[in-house]
Amino acid sequence: MNKSASLERIRNRRLVYLLGFILGFLFLFFGAWYCLEMSINDAYAQWGAADLVIQYMEEHGGKWPSNWDVLRQSYETKGGRVSGWSFGDFKSRMFIDFSVNSNDLEKQSVKSNKVPFDVIHARSPLSSMMGEGPNAQLYHYFRHKAGMVDSPRPVDNNGPVTVPIPRSPQ
């Protein structure tokens, strides 16, 4: 083998390694960006799903919704805290256990010092949550409804409660 052919193979190998590194970096960068984007959207959607369920219970004497169809109108009016998603997209990304009984959830909430159930969550295992998550929203809702002072009133469907940030003296 001559020296020229050996140098050519080394250059080709380096080029393949460099291209592999660049492609790997791009794959990781865009993969991380995509996961972060979906995670943030799912966090808002979980918050919105809990809002929809709470609103439904408020409007129907405390009754838990029986299926997605009964939440459709509220979603189309309020948006479920996500924009640009169809109702079908929202349903496909969120899980709500429609088989539970709100009275049972309220009893569990009153008896427990932590969230005792998991009835609303994102379907993706890569999702994050706003604050303590949608089940904590329900937990605090039920405890507040039962007159327990340790639980703040959940945020209503008009948006998050805003707290003015004190300005530093100038």
pLDDT at residue 18 in the model:
85
Q: Is 51 exposed, middle or buried (0-12, 13-18, 19+ CB in 10 A)?
A: buried
- Among 64, 67, 35, smallest CA distance to 141 is for 64
Question: Does 80 map to a domain?
Answer: yes
Phi and psi (nearest 5°) for 121? -165, 165
To 5 degrees, how large is the angle CA 4–CA 5–CA 8? 90
Q: Is the pLDDT of residue 23 over 90?
A: no
105: CB partners within 8 A, 6+ apart: 64, 117, 119, 138, 142
pLDDT of residue 102: 96
Is position 70 within any domain?
Answer: yes
Given a cut of 60, whether residue 10 has pLDDT beyond it is: yes
What tokens appear for 88 in the block? 């079908």
Domain range for 97 is 38-145
CB 147 within 8 A of CB 154: no
pLDDT at 166 over 50: no
For all residues of the chain together, what is the average pLDDT? 82
- Residue 56 included in any domain: yes
* Size of the chain, expressed as the number of residues it contains: 170
Residue 160 lies in a domain: no
Average pLDDT over residues 121-139: 84
Give the total number of structural domains in the chain.
Answer: 1
Residue type, 79: G
Backbone angles phi, psi at 118, to 5 degrees: -135, 85
Any domain includes 18: no
The reply to whether 7 falls in a domain is: no
**pTM > 0.75:** no
Phi, psi for 122 (deg, rounded to 5): -75, 150
- The answer to the question of residue 28 being in a domain is no
**Is residue 52 classed exposed, middle or buried when 0-12, 13-18 and 19+ CB atoms within 10 A define those classes?**
buried
121 in helix, strand or coil?
strand
